Structure formats: structure tokens, C-alpha cells
């Protein structure tokens, strides 16, 4: 919803050349990604019955859309770009990567553990993994937060709403 | 119509509806005030909750989050200079200067009044127009629907974006993701990689939460959005002067008219309405120099515009089944999950949903009036919860919500996947909303394309031979032309150097 990406503002003092290079790099990455997805869609569509315009088979729409996507990907990669991108600083990238990893791993670990060890253990794991990038948080703080969340979630979702999730289990 | 409205009101005042409406608007206000998580993510998180209640009650709650967030969002704009939602960004321009001048209480009070006024006028228009519009669009065939869906997609993506090409690419990617799963006609599976989990396509909630919620959390882990300090606001400091009232009533009426019209058009919505209202007020004002320095007109005009637009946005959503923005798309999808098809027949076939929802807007807006004026101090205190406690909680709720849809960890993995994808796309400055719109409207687009061509014996000219469809397509072409012209205008900093 909001255009807030935690990166440095466009680096205008560093000259436009540098920002333009980053912008070109971003465009190339995005264009390549879209082109590959579009090509994949065309390949998948061709492997299905395609049919004709009068009698569209399941492959028709994916081929059509995939083709449009390839064209758009090319346009993004090749058309001159108007914006100056923020420089990709190494330190920012490293910090960003840690944050991405922490959040994504927290979610994934919850999914992995919830049916194996139960709700409480998964919540404790998710809290500890997701708060890992914040050094200012004490072990006790994390632990209390995890326990409060586990108790609250159990009461709301399992007890009150009847979501079928074990509180504790061992099902490796 | 009056008796429909009365029975709707009776439904909206029933215990269940009232409780869920209150939950919706309260949560919406909270989410709106937090500049770290938008109404989109909040609604997506709560869609699973609607499985446990009557669909009409569930939709009342989701809608409550949406308009509640509009109220809360303006509070964040005024007190923090940080828009809680995109639609309230304009409010920062004059709302925050008012806070700096010690007039925060008055700004909050007038915003709430303006929002309430805009909402109620929008609601009247919704109730007045939706049923008759439903009858008019009954004549629409597949060619008309195809062109209208295309128009809705393009308009919502191109309305207020700096990157039109990326926005269009996101629609197309969304359409493609929407075609994952069993083909509607033949049942042949597409892009499922032989996984039974993907037979019904991507789980909408996992997709939406991943795309909107996770990237927000990731960007805020280390740099928490600033919060309201220990400021407290007394009720007595909130009462506006006679001068404030005198300067506000005309902007409120103008803003409401702008918002009501733009909201009802497919694909434009609140953000554009607030921008237009602000520039109108600045133009007609005898003191344009005060704008940006705490002019009350700059707060009340756009706020009524935004809230009026939110209410009238339900007109195309409910009567055509064509949502104007991503939040509406999610509401359409939720209705469909419950087996209710939004479209011209909704008002007659599911009167409780339509009239109950309309009446709940009245109830919800009154609740918001109470939440935002006498209880504002309470909110300020709640908002001082540090983000480091808040975001792990959001992650846990997201996971439980995703799990509960099919009681399957697969949906949680999907949240991870789309979270990473969404974050990557966000770094590359791709807007996520058109992606979701494409995913939700993709199947509809395909069905109508297929049907229209089948009836026309494969002749694509059918879309321009039918006048209504041709008119929609002409607007599409105009939108694309406008986007190209905008791209060629100044602001091209180094395009020439490269060529």
C-alpha cells in the first residue's frame, strides 16, 4: 500500500550516471524475470490442448498472456528509464538480506513445526527467529513475548474459534 | 426500498453483526494508525475468520476494517506526518502543520467530522444507485464484461502510478498466476507441477498476506515506523472554533462530490480523489498561501473525498462484480469463497448481504465517530506499544490465519514464497496491488474472452462491434495513450543520454 522501501533516498550527489546504472540494472533484472515467466507460460500452454479462438483450449489463455508478458519484459529491460535508482550499498544489502531471511524463515519454520511439535513450539520458534535481527532485545523479553503470544493465540484461535491445531504434540 | 433498508438495519443491529462490525472498525482504526501495516494486509489476515460466521457478517467486518482504516490513517497523518494508508497521505500536508501549531485536537476533530460527512453522503449514493444500476447492467453480455474487466484492471493500475509499464506488467503477471490450477472448462490442470495443493489455484489469503503483509514487516524490522509519543489530547482542546467550521463546510461538500464520483468509477478510488480535492481547494481558496501551513480546508476536503470514495467504490464492486482497487478485489473474492457471486443479481438474490452491508456502514461510521473523538486518548496510549513486540505478533497471526484456511502447512509455505516474491518486486519498484487485481480478475477475464469469442465464431471484432464494449475499450486506449504521453513529458532525466 505504501511506497516505503527501507533504502537510501536516490543518490543525487553521486551523479546521475551511477543512479542510471542502478536503474538500468533493476530494469534488466525485472525484464529478465518477467520474460522468463512469460516464456515458461508459453511452454506450459503449448504442452496443453491449445484449441482455436472459437474453441479455446486450456492452453490458449496462458500462451496469450505469456506472450504479452514477454513483450512487457522486453520493454522494461530495453526502454530508456526515467528514474534515478537508489545506489545499492553493500552494508544495506547485507542488513536487508538478514531481515528478509529472518522474517521468511520465521514463517517457514512455523509451517514446518506446527503439525510436528504443535502451536506453542512453533510460536516460540517464530518469535525467536524473527526478532533475531534486533540486538537490543533481551533473551527474557523475547521469551516473555513468545509465551504471551502462544497463550493468547491458543485462547483465541484454538479455544474460541476452534481452529484444529494441537497446542503441543510430537509428530516428527 | 425503505423497507429493504429497515430490514438491513435490523440485520446490522443484530448482536452478531454489531459485534463483528465493531471488531472491524476498531481493528481498522488501529491498523490505519500504524504506519507499518496497511488495511490490505489486515483484511487478508482476517479473511479466514469469516469462514466461521455468516458471510454477510464476515463482509461487514472486512468492510469495517477498510473504512475504519481511513479514519485511523488520518490520525497518523495528522499526529506523525506519516500516512497510515496511501489514501490519507494528502492529509499530512496540512494536518501535521496544524499539530505543530498546537491545533492537533481540532484537526482530528474536523477530520472525523469530514470523514463522517463524506461517508454518509457516499452511503446515500450507494443505496440510491446500486439497485438501479444492477438492473441496467443485466443486459451485459460476455463481450461487455471482458472489456469492462480490462478497463477496471487498466484504470486501477494506471490511475496514480509513477511506473505505468511496471503496473501493467504486474496485471499481466497476476492474470497468469490466476490461471494456475484446473481449467474451468476442461478440468485440465495448468502450472500445478502435479501438486494436488495447486488444483484450486493459489490460496488467495496466502497470496495477499504474502504480497502485502510480509514485505511491510521485512522493511520495518530494523527501522520501526515512528510512533506517537506520550502526547495526550483532551476533549476540550478538540473543539473547533466557529471560524474552523465556517471554512470547512464548503470543502467538505466539494470533497464529497469529487470522491463520490471517482469512487464509483471502476479503478480510480480514493487516492486520486484526495489529490483532486486538495488541488481544487487550493485553487478556489482566497488564501492559497496557507495551504501546506495548516489550512483546515486542506484537511477536511480530501478527508471527505476519501471516505465518500470508499463508500461509492462498493457500487461497481457489488453490482458489476468488478472491484475498483485491491481491497475491493479481496472483498469480491471473499464473497465468492462463500458462494455469493457479486454482480447485477446480488441485490435481488442476496438482499441481506447488500442491505445489511449498507446499513452496517451507517452503524460503523457512528461507532467510528465515538472511537475517534471521545476515545482518541486511549488510541494514543495503545499506539505506544513498541514495534519490536508488534511485528512478531503479526507474523504469528499471519501464520495461524494461513494455516486455518485448509488446515495445511502448505499455505504457510505459500506465504513465505509470496512474501519473498513481493519483497523482491517491491525493491524493483513494482506495485503489488495490480498483481492481486490480476490474480482475482484473471479467471473472469478468461471466461468472458472464451465465451465472447465462442459466440462470435472466433471473430475478435465482436469487442468493437458492440457499442458498450467498444466504449469501454476506447477508454482503455485513452488510458494507455495518457500513460505514454506522461512518460514522454519532462522528468526524463537520462533517457536521451542512453539513446
Which pLDDT score, from 0 to 100, does residue B489 have? 62
Please report the residues numbered 22 through 81 in chain A whose beta carbons come closer than 8 angstroms to any beta carbon of chain B: 24, 26, 29-30, 34, 37-38, 41, 44-45, 48-49, 52-62, 65-66, 68-69, 72-73, 75-76, 79-81
Domain boundaries, chain B: 2-488
Q: How confident is the model at residue B473 (pLDDT cuts 50, 70, 90)?
A: very high
> Does the pTM of the predicted model rise above 0.80?
yes
Q: What is the sign of the dihedral through the CA atoms of A42, B410, B430 and A88?
A: negative
Q: Which of A45, A69, A84 sits opposite B173 (nearest CB)?
A: A69
pLDDT in tens, B213-222: 888 888 878 7
Nearest to B51 by CA among A57, A59, A162, A54: A162
pLDDT in tens, B292-332: 888 999 999 999 999 999 899 888 888 888 887 788 888 88
* Least Cα separation, residue A170 to chain B (angstroms): 16
| CA–CA separation, B344 and B319 (whole Å) | 5
Is A163 within 8 Å of B495 when comparing Cβ atoms? no
Which pLDDT score, from 0 to 100, does residue B492 have? 36
As a whole number, mean pLDDT of residues B233-255 equals 86
pLDDT in tens, B31-50: 888 765 677 778 887 887 88
| Least-confidence region, from B137-146, B220-229, B469-478 | B220-229
* Least Cα separation, residue A96 to chain B (angstroms): 8
- Rounded to the nearest angstrom, the gap between the alpha carbon of residue B345 and the centroid of all alpha carbons in its chain is 23
| CA–CA separation, B152 and B362 (whole Å) | 27
Q: How confident is the model at residue B196 (pLDDT cuts 50, 70, 90)?
A: confident
Which pLDDT score, from 0 to 100, does residue A12 have? 43
Percent of chain B residues past pLDDT 90, beyond the cut: 29
Chain B interface includes A140 (CB < 8 A): no
Q: Give me the total of CB pairs closer than 8 Å, taking one residue from chain A and one from chain B.
A: 227
Please report the residues numbered 86 through 115 in chain A whose beta carbons come closer than 8 angstroms to any beta carbon of chain B: 95, 99-100, 102-104, 106-108, 110-112, 114-115
pLDDT in tens, B343-395: 888 888 888 889 999 999 999 999 999 888 888 888 777 767 777 888 898 89
pLDDT in tens, B86-114: 678 788 888 888 888 888 888 889 999 99
Average model confidence (pLDDT) across chain B? 85
Closest Cα in chain B to A4? B219
pLDDT in tens, B321-353: 888 778 888 888 888 888 888 888 888 888 888
As a whole number, mean pLDDT of residues B259-287 equals 83
With vertex at residue A66, the alpha carbon angle to CA A43 and CA B187, rounded to the nearest 5 degrees, is 70
pLDDT in tens, A17-29: 566 778 888 899 9
Instruction: For residue B182, give the DSSP letter.
Output: E
Q: Is-contact A168 A123, C-beta < 8 A?
A: no
pLDDT in tens, A61-113: 999 999 999 999 999 999 887 666 677 778 888 888 999 999 999 999 999 99
Q: How confident is the model at residue B256 (pLDDT cuts 50, 70, 90)?
A: very high
Q: How confident is the model at residue A13 (pLDDT cuts 50, 70, 90)?
A: very low
- Rounded to the nearest angstrom, the gap between the alpha carbon of residue B456 and the centroid of all alpha carbons in its chain is 36
Closest Cα in chain A to B192? A44
Amino acid at each position: 500500500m505504501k511506497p516505503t522501501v527501507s533504502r537510501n533516498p536516490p543518490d543525487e550527489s553521486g551523479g546521475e550516471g551511477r543512479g542510471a546504472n542502478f536503474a538500468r540494472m533493476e530494469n534488466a533484472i525485472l525484464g529478465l524475470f518477467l520474460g522468463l515467466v512469460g516464456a515458461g507460460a508459453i511452454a506450459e500452454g503449448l504442452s496443453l490442448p491449445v484449441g482455436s479462438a472459437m474453441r479455446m483450449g486450456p492452453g490458449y489463455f496462458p500462451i496469450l498472456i505469456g506472450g504479452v508478458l514477454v513483450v512487457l519484459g522486453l520493454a522494461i529491460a530495453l526502454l530508456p528509464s526515467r528514474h534515478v535508482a537508489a545506489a545499492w550499498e553493500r552494508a544495506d544489502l547485507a542488513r536487508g538480506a538478514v531481515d528478509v531471511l529472518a522474517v521468511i524463515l520465521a514463517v517457514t519454520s512455523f509451517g514446518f513445526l506446527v503439525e510436528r511439535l504443535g502451536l506453542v513450539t512453533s510460536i516460540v520458534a517464530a518469535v525467536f527467529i524473527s526478532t533475531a535481527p534486533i540486538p537490543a532485545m533481551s533473551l527474557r523479553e523475547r521469551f516473555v513475548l513468545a509465551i504471551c503470544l502462544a497463550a493468547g493465540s491458543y485462547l483465541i484461535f484454538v479455544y474460541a474459534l476452534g481452529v484444529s491445531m494441537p497446542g503441543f504434540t510430537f509428530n516428527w | 426500498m425503505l423497507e429493504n433498508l429497515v430490514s438491513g438495519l435490523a440485520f446490522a443491529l443484530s448482536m452478531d453483526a454489531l459485534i463483528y462490525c465493531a471488531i472491524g472498525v476498531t481493528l481498522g482504526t488501529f491498523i490505519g494508525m500504524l504506519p507499518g501495516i496497511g488495511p490490505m494486509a489486515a483484511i487478508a489476515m482476517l479473511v479466514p475468520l469469516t469462514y466461521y460466521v455468516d458471510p454477510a457478517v464476515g463482509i461487514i467486518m472486512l468492510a469495517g476494517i477498510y473504512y475504519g482504516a481511513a479514519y485511523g490513517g488520518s490520525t497518523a497523518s495528522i499526529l506523525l506526518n506519516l500516512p497510515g494508508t496511501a489514501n490519507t497521505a494528502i492529509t499530512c500536508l496540512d494536518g501535521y502543520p496544524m499539530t505543530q501549531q498546537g491545533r492537533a485536537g481540532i484537526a482530528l476533530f474536523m477530520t472525523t467530522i469530514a470523514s463522517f460527512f463524506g461517508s454518509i453522503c457516499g452511503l446515500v449514493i450507494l443505496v440510491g444507485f446500486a439497485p438501479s444500476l444492477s438492473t441496467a447492467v443485466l443486459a451485459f453480455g460476455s463481450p461487455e464484461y471482458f472489456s469492462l474487466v480490462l478497463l477496471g484492471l487498466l484504470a486501477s493500475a494506471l490511475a496514480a502510478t509513477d511506473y505505468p509499464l511496471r503496473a501493467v506488467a504486474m496485471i499481466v503477471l497476476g492474470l497468469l498466476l490466476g490461471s494456475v490450477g484446473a481449467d474451468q472448462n476442461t478440468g485440465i490442470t495448468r502450472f500445478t507441477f502435479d501438486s494436488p495443493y495447486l488444483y484450486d489455484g493459489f490460496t488467495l489469503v496466502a497470496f495477499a498476506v504474502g504480497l502485502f503483509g510480509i514485505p511491510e514487516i521485512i522493511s520495518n524490522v530494523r527501522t520501526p515506523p515512528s510512533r506517537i509519543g506520550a502526547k495526550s489530547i483532551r476533549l476540550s482542546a478538540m473543539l473547533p472554533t466557529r471560524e474552523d467550521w465556517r471554512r470547512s463546510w464548503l470543502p467538505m461538500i466539494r470533497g464529497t462530490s469529487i470522491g463520490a464520483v471517482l469512487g464509483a468509477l471502476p479503478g480510480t478510488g480514493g487516492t486520486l480523489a484526495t489529490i483532486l480535492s486538495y488541488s481544487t481547494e487550493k485553487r478556489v481558496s482566497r488564501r492559497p498561501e496557507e495551504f501546506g501551513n495548516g489550512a483546515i480546508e486542506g484537511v477536511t476536503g480530501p478527508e471527505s473525498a476519501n471516505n465518500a470514495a470508499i463508500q461509492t467504490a462498493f457500487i461497481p464492486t457489488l453490482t458489476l462484480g468488478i472491484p475498483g482497487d485491491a481491497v475491493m478485489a479481496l472483498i469480491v473474492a471473499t464473497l465468492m469463497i462463500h458462494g455469493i457471486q457479486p454482480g447485477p443479481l446480488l441485490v435481488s438474490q442476496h438482499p441481506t448481504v447488500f442491505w445489511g452491508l449498507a446499513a452496517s456502514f451507517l452503524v460503523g461510521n457512528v461507532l467510528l465517530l465515538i472511537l475517534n473523538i471521545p476515545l482518541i486518548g486511549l488510541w494514543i496510549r495503545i499506539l505506544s506499544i513498541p514495534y519490536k513486540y508488534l511485528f512478531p505478533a503479526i507474523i504469528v497471526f499471519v501464520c495461524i490465519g494461513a494455516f486455518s484456511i485448509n488446515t495445511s502447512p502448505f499455505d504457510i509455505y505459500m506465504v513465505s514464497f509470496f512474501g519473498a516474491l513481493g519483497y523482491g518486486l517491491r525493491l524493483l519498484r513494482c506495485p503489488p496491488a495490480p498483481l492481486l487485481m490480476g490474480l482475482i480478475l484473471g479467471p473472469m477475464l478468461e471466461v468472458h474472452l472464451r465465451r465472447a469469442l465462442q459466440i462470435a465464431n472466433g471473430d475478435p471484432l465482436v469487442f468493437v462491434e458492440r457499442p458498450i464494449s467498444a466504449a469501454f475499450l476506447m477508454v482503455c486506449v485513452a488510458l494507455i495513450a495518457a500513460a505514454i504521453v506522461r512518460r514522454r513529458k519532462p522528468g526524463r532525466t537520462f533517457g536521451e543520454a542512453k539513446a
